[in-house]
């Protein structure tokens, strides 16, 4: 028996809508034949696929990180602005792909603007540094009258874009990263670049690279060293984490969100240790700017060793299962449960590359299984996250030890009193939950759920689109007592009021 207790006065704070972000990298078919395909029947006058844009709207992505990822660490942004016919293809060393430079900074930022999605730009701190970063920032945000802002205007864009969020490089702790650095080298460069960028535009928010995963040998030490240089300069530290089912270990995979929560707590602790030493009132928040299920160990074939490819090759196009959808839902609950610390989140990535949306060149676009929990949470999680107390049993896992059998997150909209309650049942049996709301009366109208099964990845459009949210098991309400039933291995979103 599980009990979930909510109290309307016990709030973590507002959920930053930017936690429902995603990621567009020049990788495989994320850009070309993903968001952009001028010959596609649904393409708009700018060459962007309307079918993909419509699904992105339905997904509810609030932020798009761009242009990488590993790609950014050897990117020359100047090659991808100005008249398209004068742009030269570029050899991207991260993915060993010829980048045609048909989509660059202007095309991407104008796409975001048309779609009402906030861009999050990354600067190249792999092969480049301060000069290229401040030039790009001036190109994006500068007023007329200086070289790079004037170049933007000459390229047809008068108004500054006002890009607010900026990543100082990508995964610079990773030996695979072009221009990989140790923590001292990166920390110094990030601090100097960030300071110079603030001279160009003091209003921006800056993200320093944290660890590429909690499993990196340098984890912890990296955060501590980098922030010892950057603490006063940056606003956020990044986190990246991907999870997968390994060797058929379903229980450990179902416990992934507990590992994600531990990772967040450890990064926050590392940042706070620096703040404490400095007696600083500032708190560094987290940009979880890459997270997802990715069959990195079990399916990734190491494209970086392949010959150079052209024409938007199919790279890491993971096909998701129903179980993956449940784990993604549970990870969204974890982000909501850390609303007091996580300011930005990006489901990596948006289209085709480990993505909730898939396309065929010239053909349809469709939703993968993982689309559904994301779209549901992005739509329902409004207002303040509550401190949720869950008294439940445990699920024993090989990788993460004992993890809670049931997890939950909740938000309340202070304007309307609308309640959203997200509950995961990680066990393979139905669970009954008593919902307690001392000091308040809660009402639940019902909900919808993603259910795991043993079918495996839903290959192709038909199989993927046959999957979706189903009605939650009925809620029993007797007086003030609410009883929920959770299907085995499920993630359920209930709505109501509090």
Q: Which of 107, 138, 171, 245 is catalytic?
A: 171
Query: 138: closest CA among 207, 75, 200, 66?
Result: 200
Classify burial at 482, counting beta carbons within 10 Å of its beta carbon; exposed 0-12, middle 13-18, buried 19 or more: buried
| Preceding amide of 69 cis, omega within 30 | yes
Shortest distance, position 178 Cβ to ligand AHR, whole Å: 11
Contact between 410 and 419 (Cβ < 8 Å): yes
Task: Give Cα 354 distance to the centre of its chain.
Answer: 12
Q: What is the DSSP letter of 325?
A: H
Q: Which residues of 60-81 are buried (b: 16+ CB within 10 A; e: fewer)?
A: bbbbbbbbbbbbbbbbebbebb
Sign of the torsion formed by the C-alpha atoms of 91, 94, 97 and 103: negative
- d(C-alpha 239, C-alpha 213), whole Å: 7
Name the token pair of 305.
Answer: 């060793």
Between residues 209 and 423, which has the closer beta carbon with respect to ligand AHR?
Answer: 209
Kindly report the number of other CB atoms within 10 A of residue 360's CB atom: 14
Between residues 216 and 463, which has the closer beta carbon with respect to ligand AHR?
Answer: 216
Between residues 348 and 375, which has the closer beta carbon with respect to ligand AHR?
Answer: 348
Shortest distance, position 173 Cβ to ligand AHR, whole Å: 11
Between residues 100 and 210, which has the closer beta carbon with respect to ligand AHR?
Answer: 210
Query: 392: closest CA among 413, 371, 406, 409?
Result: 406
- d(C-alpha 301, C-alpha 371), whole Å: 24
Strands 2-5, 389-391: pairing is antiparallel
Between residues 153 and 216, which has the closer beta carbon with respect to ligand AHR?
Answer: 216
Shortest distance, position 71 Cβ to ligand AHR, whole Å: 6
Shortest distance, position 224 Cβ to ligand AHR, whole Å: 21
Between residues 246 and 463, which has the closer beta carbon with respect to ligand AHR?
Answer: 246
Contact between 364 and 461 (Cβ < 8 Å): yes
- d(C-alpha 295, C-alpha 302), whole Å: 12
Contact between 239 and 288 (Cβ < 8 Å): yes
Shortest distance, position 124 Cβ to ligand AHR, whole Å: 13
158 catalytically annotated: no
Classify burial at 162, counting beta carbons within 10 Å of its beta carbon; exposed 0-12, middle 13-18, buried 19 or more: middle
Shortest distance, position 296 Cβ to ligand AHR, whole Å: 8
Largest separation between any pair of C-alpha atoms in the chain: 71
Between residues 27 and 327, which has the closer beta carbon with respect to ligand AHR?
Answer: 27
Contact between 257 and 307 (Cβ < 8 Å): no
Query: 287: closest CA among 18, 13, 24?
Result: 18
Q: Which of 37, 138, 245, 290 is catalytic?
A: 290
Between residues 4 and 121, which has the closer beta carbon with respect to ligand AHR?
Answer: 121
> Which stretch of DSSP H or E encloses residue 281?
none
Per DSSP, the chain holds a count of helices (H) and strands (E) of 11, 26
Shortest distance, position 26 Cβ to ligand AHR, whole Å: 9
Is residue 497 classed as helix, strand or coil in its secondary structure? strand
Between residues 69 and 255, which has the closer beta carbon with respect to ligand AHR?
Answer: 69
Shortest distance, position 177 Cβ to ligand AHR, whole Å: 8
Kindly report the number of other CB atoms within 10 A of residue 156's CB atom: 10
Kindly report the number of other CB atoms within 10 A of residue 312's CB atom: 23
Shortest distance, position 441 Cβ to ligand AHR, whole Å: 44
290 catalytically annotated: yes
Q: Which residues bind ligand AHR (CB under 6 A)?
A: 25, 27, 68-70, 170-171, 212, 290, 348-349
Catalytic residues: 171, 290
């Amino acid at each position: 028996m599980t009990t979930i207790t909510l109290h309307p006065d016990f709030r973590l704070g507002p959920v930053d809508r930017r936690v429902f972000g995603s990621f567009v990298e020049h990788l495989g078919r994320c850009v070309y034949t993903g968001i952009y395909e001028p010959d596609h029947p649904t393409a708009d006058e700018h060459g962007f696929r309307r079918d993909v844009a419509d699904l992105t709207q339905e997904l509810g992505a609030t932020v798009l990180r761009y242009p990488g990822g590993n790609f950014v660490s050897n990117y020359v942004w100047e090659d991808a602005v100005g008249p398209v016919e004068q742009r030269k293809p570029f050899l991207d060393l991260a993915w060993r792909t010829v980048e045609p430079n048909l989509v660059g900074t202007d095309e991407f930022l104008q796409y975001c603007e048309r779609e009402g999605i906030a861009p999050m730009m990354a600067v190249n701190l792999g092969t480049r540094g301060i000069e290229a970063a401040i030039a790009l920032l001036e190109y994006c945000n500068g007023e007329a009258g200086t070289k790079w802002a004037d170049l933007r205007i000459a390229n047809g864009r008068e108004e500054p874009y006002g890009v607010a969020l900026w990543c100082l490089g990508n995964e610079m702790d990773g030996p695979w990263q072009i221009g990989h650095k140790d923590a001292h080298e990166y920390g110094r460069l990030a601090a100097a670049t960030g300071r110079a960028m603030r001279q160009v535009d003091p209003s921006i928010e800056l993200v320093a690279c944290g660890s590429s995963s909690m499993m990196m040998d340098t984890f912890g030490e990296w955060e501590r060293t980098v922030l010892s240089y950057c603490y006063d300069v940056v606003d956020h530290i990044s986190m990246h984490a991907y999870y997968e089912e390994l060797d058929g270990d379903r229980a450990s995979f179902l416990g992934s969100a507990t590992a994600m929560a531990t990772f967040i707590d450890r990064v926050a602790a590392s940042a706070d240790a620096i703040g404490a030493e400095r007696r600083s009132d500032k708190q560094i928040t987290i940009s979880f700017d890459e997270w997802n299920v990715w069959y990195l160990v079990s399916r990734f074939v190491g494209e970086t060793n392949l010959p150079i490819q052209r024409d938007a090759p199919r790279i890491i196009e993971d096909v998701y299962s129903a179980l993956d959808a449940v784990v993604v839902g549970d990870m969204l609950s974890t982000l909501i449960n850390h609303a007091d610390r996580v300011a930005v989140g990006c489901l990596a990535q948006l289209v085709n590359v480990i993505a909730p949306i898939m396309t065929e060149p010239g053909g349809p676009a469709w939703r993968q299984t993982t689309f559904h929990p994301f779209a549901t949470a992005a739509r329902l999680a409004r207002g303040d996250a509550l401190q949720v107390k869950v008294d439940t049993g445990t699920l024993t896992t090989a990788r993460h030890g004992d993890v809670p059998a049931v997890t939950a997150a909740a938000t309340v909209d202070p304007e309307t009193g609308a309640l959203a309650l997200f509950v995961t049942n990680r066990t393979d049996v139905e669970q009954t939950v008593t919902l307690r709301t001392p000091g308040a009366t809660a009402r639940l109208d019902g909900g919808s759920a993603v259910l795991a099964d043993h079918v495996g990845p839903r290959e192709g459009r038909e199989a993927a689109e046959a999957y979706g949210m189903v009605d939650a098991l009925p809620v029993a309400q007797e007086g003030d007592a609410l009883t929920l039933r959770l299907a085995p291995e499920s993630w359920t979103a209930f709505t109501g009021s509090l």
